[in-house]
Chain A
Amino acid sequence: MRASGDAARAISARVFRSRGTLRPRYATLGSILDAEGLEIDRGLGLFFPAPDSYTGEDVFELHVHGSPIVVGETLGALLAAGARLATPGEFTRRAFLHGKLDLSAAEAVADLIDAESRSAARAARARLAGGLLAAVDAERVKLDAILAELSGTLDFPDEVPEPPRERLAGELVAIGTGLETLARGFEVGRLVREGVGVAIVGPPNAGKSSLLNALLGDDRALVSELAGTTRDTIEESFALDGGVRVRLIDTAGIRSHADRLEAAGIARSERALEGARVALVVVDGSRPLDDEARALLERTRARPRVVVFNKRDLGDAGYEGREPPEKGALAVSVLEPADVARIRSALRDAVGIDAPDLERPHLATARQADCVHAALRALERAQRTLDDGQPIDLLAGDLVEASAALGELGGDAATEAILDAVFARFCIGK
């Protein structure tokens, strides 16, 4: 936990007691005290005097045990000592205000914080290196060249001839194609950053929980309950061999025995499928398929999926007797490590993205994607203006807009709105 501001030192004296005084930037073991002076926990205290801290202000940090109760009480003690809760992104905003970060660094930090997987971290770094900017600038340069020619003919009609409309149309198409490629790349970037949602769906007793545990395997230590997910699904995540992180959306984690109605089961799996790119359909393959299993296979047919006929060790009546045959279905036993590896590999195919895709520049944040989409929309309008036979001046207006949208992506036109968007991406406490 971190407190920043002029009162950080005073607050530290109220909530933390150690044998010696706090030495700047050294971790000191001590007691964390509540408002009555009673010990909540033992932990580490660190004091960073201004300006040599993350925010550039006096900063006091407490490292406590992770129990929610201890965290909650410590927070209470800090608030009682005169602190208030930071607003989203406030620490970084303060760091920014004190000259600790420039805007692109702040955005990149936001991405690093969000990036759970190794690939996302790499993407964030690649973006800092400017690969994306170069790709965007390439299109912007082409746009600006057309604009320069149009401005020339508008402002110096005696000297600069009007460019032929067919040529302009061709150039606009080429720029549009480049921007669409970038926009598609955003989808890849988003999937890598946020993790690819994979919904585990299947009738009760198909072995979803065992499969989940088998897939998480060694990654089990990284498993966490993510905030913001709906109350009746649990998300856990692990990395595929290609480096892309998968978020497993599991409805099996919630078992309400009183609620065995088919409809409720369908509703749950529908909800899980909503946020997922890939369905991991698990049925019991040892027995002939029941109606629920058949219905599920039918419902998920149209989407990217991996179908697992589980409990191979117990029999194959369901797998052999499937009707119609499931292409690419796997007969497995989640107890067999080799079978689990086959499932992972099938998932990787179904996800269809590997981390190396990220080495090409791509749009990493929604704001960047918005900019490219705005540019594309302006470009479409320009094309329509041209197709409709409207005068070229009106074309220029749309192209200025497209160019400005791309400029904004590079940070050319930062406004309060952009800052708000950037800073709001910081979760409390990070």
Chain B
Amino acid sequence: MIFDRTGVVVVGGGHAGVEAALASARLGVETVLVTGEPAKICTLPCNPSVGGSAKGQLVREIDALGGEMGLLIDATSVHVRWLNESKGPAVRALRAQADKPAYARAARAHLEAQPGVTIVRGMVDGLVASGGAIRAVRTEDGRSIPARAVVLATGTFLGGKTFRGDEVRAEGRFGEAPAVGLSGALARLGFPLGRLKTGTPPRIDKTTVDPARMAVQAPSDVPLAFSYRRSPAFAGPQLPCWITVTSARTHALVRANLHRSPLYGLDLIRGIGPRYCPSIEDKVVKFAHNPSHQIFIEPEGWDEPTLYVGGFSTSLPADVQLEMLHTLPGLEECAMLRAGYAVEYDFVQPTELRHSLETRRIENLFHCGQLNGTSGYEEAAAQGLLAGINAARRVRGERPFLLERTDSYVGTMIDDLVTKGVDEPYRMLTSRAEHRVLLRHDNADLRLTPRGRELGLIDDRAWEAFVARRERLERAISGAEATRVTEEQIAGARLAKGSTLADALRRPEIGTADVASYFPSSLENDEPERIAIEIKLAGYVRRQRLAVERAARVELEEIPDDFGYETIAALSREAREKLGRHRPRTIGAAARIPGLTPADVAIVSLFVHRHRTRREDERGREGACA
């Protein structure tokens, strides 16, 4: 194989790597994806679900920009439903359960069908840099792949170690060899490495559970889709999920076996685990007052023999896991096909990165996904997309493509990562997005598809469909202000004479279904709902836009890249050190660095201002006063 035309090398074939490789190749750059096992591309090694609160927004944003995740899950989901339907349009999100093998096959097929992508089997253990820029990657078997830009998307494989009780294996995930050399290669380039931990629950034989003893979670009975680029359609028969609960018996087993836990008793794990995805041990120890925890039983595919035991992540020994499973209603006689485990892996603090996800230390080197300390498929895919776009733009000599907190969850996440760093695996949450009324699941296309088109990731067909949709929505929204509603009472709400469709929709009691007949018949899919959301939220959206404009003042106040914090006496030593390390791009980003006081930020702002005006105002150094 000849690699000398290679522009971008992507290391890793998970969600981040796949998005990165596809985006890079679609931007016209020859791209090589190096993975230890091509058959395991996008295997969804943990839960079978994609989307959910905040993560659903990420999937929509990836899709709106021209990424792949939405298409992949829509084509392979065995169960889709809305979350947070009653809690507000800005937090509503889709969650789907994937058929895992189908999802992986689809991902691989998309990669193979993409001109410009070459999949290469290999474990990368060396990074070749010179002159402060990355030049090539080296594989364990001695091959060197030259690259003008490299995207590292290595997941949990860096120095990966798995734990079940006292059984410790060198693994990136179940049954797969870890990447051993790459951590050292990163360290040699000067990157400080940290250690994080995550875990996965046991899988059980679906023929050995009793669904009658569990509560059913039914999938949506209408087809729902993440992607804006396909009409919603069921990917196949829709399967239910189930809910069961832990009891005092389960908790007693956990407590009785804590001495066999690699985290609590054996003290084998140094990495920090996610608070947002606690293991069952954590739940029992840290939330001892809860008499019971919900456990979610989810299919892993149409023909997969396994069920995923959600909320039951554990690293206790396999025999204890089975005993614990048997305390759950419906699972009393279940057979465990694979034990849960904890996995510990190296990560590089994302404060090493610019907002483009390029490292500050080494030019043309990009980090994404769990390597940056995040957890979750969606978080990884979103970073992969951005890293792939920016790596390709680097090769093409173009300016980086940046998203902001005010335009997307992706932008919010990346800003969180690069300005704050992580001290536990980072998960996207709606509460991290201060502008979430604007950043909705429903309007991701309006926010980002024009950006994706500019990038060159939205093809003509998708673009034309988007433009037509945008026009339909705009027309229908202004039309709603003019359409008279004839009823005086709808859904229990009294309407004044002469009320319009918009007036009706502004009433919280009235939903789209109540006034369906007034919408133009040209609307498709979820469009009536989107119009209702725009109208219902108009006041809140207006307020949020004002807040965004106010924030923009500090947000856009740029700090020169070489700004000399060490000369500012008014800053504490700690503040100087933090600022020097994080190198915030703007005053707004500086304000979000943990541990910096507002006074520190104010001082920086004053000095940045002074830095700018100094040359014009040398006289400004003297002052007199009566």
Contact = CB atoms under 8 A, between A and B. Distances in A.
Interface of A: 1-8, 11, 51, 56, 71-72, 74-75, 78-79, 82-87, 90-91, 93-94, 96-100, 102-104, 147, 151, 153-159, 162, 388-394, 396-397, 400-401, 411-416, 418-419, 428-429
Interface in B599-626: 599, 601-603, 605-607, 609-610, 619, 621-626
A393 B508 contact: no
Given A97-B607, A394-B540, A397-B437, A412 B624 contact: no
8 contacts: A86-B624, A98-B569, A103-B599, A103-B602, A157-B83, A391-B89, A394-B537, A401-B547
Contacts of B619: 84
A390 B296 CA distance: 30
Given A98-B569, A99-B571, A394-B437, A11 B624 contact: yes
A75 B624 CA distance: 8
Contacts of A400: 434
Given A99-B569, A155-B53, A155-B54, A84 B540 contact: no
B420 to A, nearest CB: 15
A1 B626 contact: yes
Given A413-B591, A416-B554, A157 B626 contact: no
Contact of A389 (B294, B508, B547): B508
B418 to A, nearest CB: 20
Interface in B267-295: 276, 293-294
A154 B53 contact: yes
Contact of A86 (B431, B436, B591, B625): B625
Which of the four size classes fits the interface of chain B?
35 or more
A97 B294 contact: no
A101 B47 CA distance: 53
A2 to B, nearest CB: 6
B521 interface: no
Contacts of A94: 623
Given A389-B508, A391-B86, A158 B624 contact: no
Contact of B606 (A71, A97, A151, A412): A97
Nearest to B554: A415
A56 to B, nearest CB: 7
B434 A99 contact: no
Nearest to A15: B624
A412 B598 contact: yes
B133 to A, nearest CB: 37
Contacts of B434: 400
B605 A416 contact: yes
User: Which 8 residue pairs spanning A and B have beta carbons closest together?
Assistant: A393-B88, A83-B624, A391-B88, A414-B598, A99-B570, A5-B622, A151-B431, A86-B625
Given A78-B624, A98-B570, 7 more contacts: A4-B622, A83-B622, A83-B624, A90-B625, A389-B509, A401-B547, A416-B609
Given A393-B91, A412-B598, A85 B625 contact: yes
A412 B597 CA distance: 7
Contact of A3 (B296, B544, B624): B624
Nearest to B599: A103
A416 B604 CA distance: 10
B540 A158 contact: no
Contacts of A158: 294, 296, 311
Nearest to A93: B606
B624 A91 contact: no
B429 interface: yes
B431 A394 contact: no
Nearest to A95: B570
B489 interface: no
